[in-house]
Structure 1
Amino acid sequence: MNFLRDVWKELKKTSWPTRKELTKYTITVIATVVVIGLFVFGVDTGVSYLVNLLIN
């Protein structure tokens, strides 16, 4: 029971982000994931194209 009480005390000390900050961070994460996904897609497509050229 002491553990849960201590956890609750620590959670009260936490500074939680505002709605504006949370929105900003969420958009940043989504944009980063999209950019990295497009990069990986481009590299994968390019490598597949080169492998197909070498095979054929």
Structure 2
Amino acid sequence: MQRITKFFSEVVREMKKVSWPKRKELINYTITVLATVAFMSVFFAVVDLGISSLIRFVFE
């Protein structure tokens, strides 16, 4: 029990040292991540469509 208490007190102490992002930074990071995910999704969808069309063309 004492080890668990010590662990959580150390966790609290370390979390106080963390430099958390400001609201504006967090919003910018979130927009960047969402835009990157959307771009990559569209990119791979187009690549998949192209490869599928190429394979259909070759085998027909």
Q: Calculate the TM-score normalised by the size of structure 2.
A: 0.91
RMSD, aligned α-carbons: 0.5
Match of 2:32 among 28, 31, 35: 28
CA distance in 2 between counterparts of 1:6 and 1:46 reads 53
**Which blocks of at least 5 consecutive residues in structure 1 are unaligned?**
none
Deviation at 1:2, TM superposition (A): 0.4
Identity %: 46
Which has more radius of gyration? 2
Pairs aligned (count): 56
**Which blocks of at least 5 consecutive residues in structure 2 are unaligned?**
none
